[in-house]
Amino acid sequence: MTEWTAWQDTKALTFLHARVRHLLARQGVEDGHVEHRGSPVHYYAAGPREAARTVVLLHGLGDSANSWFRTLPLLAWRGDRVVAIDLAGHGYTPAPDERGYLSIRENADLVRHVVKETRAGDDLALVGHSLGGWVATRAHLSGLDASRLVLVEAAGLLHEGMWDMIEMLRIEKEEDVRRFFKTVTHRTPFALGILSREVAGMFRSPAVVNFIGADNRDDVIFDEELANVRAKTTILWGENDGLIPPIMAHRWRAGIPDSTLRWIPRCGHAPAFERPVLFERLLEEALGHPPLSDAVRARVAAHFPDWIGRRIAKA
């Protein structure tokens, strides 16, 4: 039986994601599923099973756990147990019902379940990009205890124009892809010029289209809720984000007690792709890892394939 994927109708993306999956497997990254409410949830896991801390990585809308392909092996080498989850309707995780997606609160419940099944040690850190930051925050506010929370361009705070912002993700044609990424990124990734048709197909998936159409305002996070965040929180934000206004970074910072805001220059809404080396450094810092010296970083890079190692060595 053929495995379900969010990009099954796009041959180029199917090939590229299969390649990423293969390369992660070669690095010893585990590739697994857990059952949640009768439906499989796909995740990657790396790092020692006896680690004191588990770091959970959550992707954005229309994305997948494959977007963490650089981060997984690096944080695992740092000694963390690292788990990257495909949210419902994304990556290799099918949606459990005909809606084709789950609400934020439902995805938060899914994350809590996967964490329970895969975590190591008693400590937990949550890292979420965009929609993933929204899910991570809601999961934490709903009882998922975490010592650290890293919000990367996080969505979810109610603000004027929020639903217009979500409508920007309603992408149907190649021109929409180019216009969207020209708006939300500082510099459009080169690959999008080649893969714009495939990316448009991905954004037409039920997980994206039906989520946008649902307009479920019960999922939003109100400023007064942020005072209940107990995790040590770092907010990472691209200075040129054209999707979620940078002013929202200040809202997160003002609402979450003792949180830290770090700006990423010359970067829009996708720091892991636009400024990968700087992003990885800031993420390691946010998770409490000491900086690597140039000599140590070069030795680390030697243990990774060229496509990862070159980036680590240049950081």
Residue ranges per structural domain of the chain: 11-314
In 3D space, the residue among 113, 211, 226 whose CA is nearest the CA of residue 171 turns out to be 211
* Model pLDDT, residue 312: 46
Strand order in the sheet with 232-238: 30-36, 39-46, 81-85, 53-58, 123-129, 148-152, 232-238, 260-264
Distances (CA, A) of 286 to 2, 63, 89, 156: 39, 23, 29, 21
Low-confidence ranges of the chain (pLDDT < 70): 1, 189-193, 215, 293-315
* Model pLDDT, residue 179: 81
* Model pLDDT, residue 294: 57
Give the pair of three-digit tokens for residue 87. 């949210």
* Model pLDDT, residue 307: 47
* Model pLDDT, residue 305: 55
* Model pLDDT, residue 32: 96
83 within 8 A of 56, measured Cβ to Cβ: yes
146 phi and psi angles, rounded to 5 deg: -140, 145
Give the pair of three-digit tokens for residue 100. 């084709």
Superfamily of domain 11-314: Alpha/Beta hydrolase fold, catalytic domain (3.40.50.1820)
The owner of tokens 């979620």 is 244
- At 71-113, the pLDDT tens digits run 999 899 899 999 999 999 999 999 999 999 999 999 999 999 9
* Model pLDDT, residue 132: 98
41 phi and psi angles, rounded to 5 deg: -120, 125
* Model pLDDT, residue 197: 77
